[in-house]
A and B are shown apart, each in its own frame.
Chain A
Amino acid sequence: MSTLALDAEALYAELRAGLRGLLAPDTALVGIWSGGAWLAERLQRDLQRPGAHGVITSTLHRDDFGERGLAGGAGATQLPFEVDGRDILLVDDVLYTGRTVRAVLNELFDYGRPARVTLAVLVDRGGRELPIEPAFAAARVALPPGQRLSLARGDDGRFTFSTRSAA
């Protein structure tokens, strides 16, 4: 099987450019733990946005708790702003079935009632099982179902993609 060469840094640049249109001055940028959180942190800095970005995890609302138990990342949610009436942009590295985003939405609504929620991702790999669509995706790729794709961050802060076959 040939591995698809995805240049994460190049795609990040695309994402940064593409978000200009989606981010109003008072939009809260929230990264989905863990890959999305790294993206949000760097975006907040590179776009010189005031305040702090938020981090959100799907752990407490996942639908696979019965099979997989409590996943990692529990307790990672940090939303340093009032959710009620807020315009929120969720950022994640890879969008696949859409279940993580569904769980993240449930987690978000535990904190209040946002005015609007939009989604931006680095890679949309298709295979959706729920009616969830990103407002922006830096790349659209098709991957075999058994293959896992996730963002990695080096010690120097540079992004790369790692793929793994779920054997």
Chain B
Amino acid sequence: MRNPQLNRHGELIHLLSIEGLPRDVVTHILDTAGTFLSVSEREVKKVPLLRGKSVFNLFFENSTRTRTTFEIAAKRLSADVINLDIARSSTAKGESLLDTIANLSAMHADMFVVRHAESGAPYLIARHVAPHVHVVNAGDGRHAHPTQGLLDMYTIRHYKRDFTNLTVAIVGDIVHSRVARSDIHALATLGVPEIRAVGPRTLVPGDLREMGVRVCHDMAEGVRGADVVIMLRLQNERMSGAMLPSAGEFFKTYGLTPDKLALAKPDAIVMHPGPINRGVEIDSSVADGSHSVILPQVTFGIAVRMAVMSIIAGNEA
């Protein structure tokens, strides 16, 4: 089965998941992101690579933050950006996903940036768009959030340089997290030798081992000696779904506080995909402290998305 993200020359035409991407495709994206980071520092922050192209942001699940970074990235590439608020539009009136795509394609969309509540939705879309149209997955269900995974890798590379001797701990609600899955695939592809998944059994079940991670149910053991600690957002639904008793108990047992952080390496970096829940997964002083690279992640995120969009737009199906 050919990976639908790659054309027959092995070039990236859609970004749906980091899974199945050869290492050199991933590093090419990171290298290109570096270029675009410098563009954002110039006086004229635009390049004309996507001029005349229409990028449609299709967010079936709300997210102003992610949508805004994609919009900025597309505009810096000189693309025309159209934001579609699907929740209030025809899909809510019962129009099927594929009918929505067909209607938008008739309006000459060149690229769809899609966020959807169901795993696999971007694959369905990619199977049905015309050959010149490209799809970027901005998050599908629990499955993948590849641009977040890539910007997390860019961040790690920026501060740590060499992936092959790192210990990375991912903490929190991993079983429901598309960010965690994308991070795990990316870390494994780039050769990180120790990837730890840290959390209670309801959020970090044993079968996560099948993804190549070391499962830790003890926070101290999980962050000890880590070079990178990635904290995940805890959602309220976990309490109502009988997976956790309270945010308070989660903070006590798995929250990243200064004393827990002290167990990691002295030069460890702290990451979070955002938005952060202060006092739930992370202590304010850590979020604002010297180890935190949470804000640089956002800057890198724009550059990474510019890289992804310009690479796929330049490759033919």
Set A66, A69, A109: member contacting B311, Cβ < 8 A: A69
Residues B38 and A75 in contact, CB atoms below 8 Å apart: yes
Interface size class of A (residues with CB under 8 A): 10 to 19
Contact pattern, B 274-317, Cβ under 8 Å of A = 1, otherwise 0 = 00000000000000000000000000000000000011011100
B44 touches A74 (CB 8 A): no
- Judge whether A110 and B42 touch: CB under 8 Å: yes
Residues of chain B within 8 A of A68, CB atoms compared: 314
Chain B 10-51 interface mask (CB, 8 Å, partner A; 1/0):
010000000000000000000110110011001110111100
B46: A residues at CB distance < 8 A: 110
Task: Give bound CA distance, A68 to B49, whole Å.
Answer: 12
**Chain B residues, CB < 8 A from A75:** 31-32, 34-35, 38
Q: Which residue of B lies closest to A110 (CB)?
A: B44
List, in ascending order, chain B residues with CB within 8 A of A77's CB: 38
CB distance from B75 to the nearest CB of A (A): 15
Given A75-B31, A110-B44, decide whether A69 and B315 contact each other with a Cβ distance below 8 A: yes
* A:27-81 near B, CB below 8 Å: 59-61, 65-66, 68-70, 74-75, 77
In the assembled complex, which residues on chain A have CB atoms less than 8 Å from the CB atom of B43? 110-112
Point out the residues of chain B lying under 8 angstroms from A110, CB to CB.
39, 42-44, 46-47
If the complex has contacts A74-B32, A74-B35, A75-B31, are A66 and B314 also in contact, measured as CB distance less than 8 A?
yes
Give CA–CA (A61, B35) in the complex, Å. Answer: 13
Q: How many residues of B contact A (CB 8 A)?
A: 19
Residue in B11, B34, B49, B311 whose CB lies within 8 Å of A60: B49
- Residues 121-161 of A, flagged 1 when their CB comes within 8 A of B and 0 if not, give 00000000000000000000000000000000000000000
Q: In the bound complex, how far is the Cα of B11 from the Cα of A75, in angstroms?
A: 20
- How far apart are the CA atoms of A77 and B37 in the complex, in Å? 12
Q: How far is the CA of A60 from the CA of B50 in the complex (A)?
A: 10
Q: Are the CB atoms of B38 and A61 closer together than 8 Å? A: no
Q: Which residues of A contact B39 (CB under 8 A)?
A: 60, 110
Q: Roughly how many angstroms separate A74 CA and B306 CA in the complex, as a whole number?
A: 13
Do A111 and B310 touch across chains, with their CB atoms under 8 A apart?
no
> Which of these, A60, A66, A69, A112, contacts B47 with CB under 8 Å?
A60
Q: A109-B44, A110-B43, A112-B43 are in contact. Are A65 and B314 (CB under 8 A)?
A: yes
- Roughly how many angstroms separate A111 CA and B46 CA in the complex, as a whole number? 11
**In the bound complex, do residue B44 and residue A69 qualify as a contact, i.e. CB atoms below 8 Å apart?**
no
Look across to chain B and name the residue whose beta carbon is closest to the beta carbon of A74.
B35
- Among residues of B, the one whose C-beta sits closest to the C-beta of A113 is B43
Of all chain A residues, which has the CB nearest B314? A69
User: A60 CA to B35 CA in the complex, in Å?
Assistant: 9
- Measured CB to CB, the closest approach of chain A to B308, in angstroms, equals 11
Q: Which of chain A's residues have a CB closer than 8 A to the CB of B42?
A: 110-111
A-B contact pairs, 15 of them (CB 8 A): A60-B35, A60-B47, A61-B48, A65-B49, A65-B314, A66-B314, A69-B11, A69-B311, A70-B311, A74-B35, A75-B34, A109-B44, A111-B43, A111-B44, A112-B43
Identify the 7 closest CB pairs spanning chains A and B, nearest first.
Answer: A69-B314, A75-B35, A110-B44, A60-B47, A74-B35, A70-B314, A69-B315
Add 7 more A-B contacts to A60-B48, A70-B311, A110-B39 (CB < 8 A). Answer: A61-B47, A69-B311, A69-B315, A70-B32, A75-B32, A111-B42, A111-B44
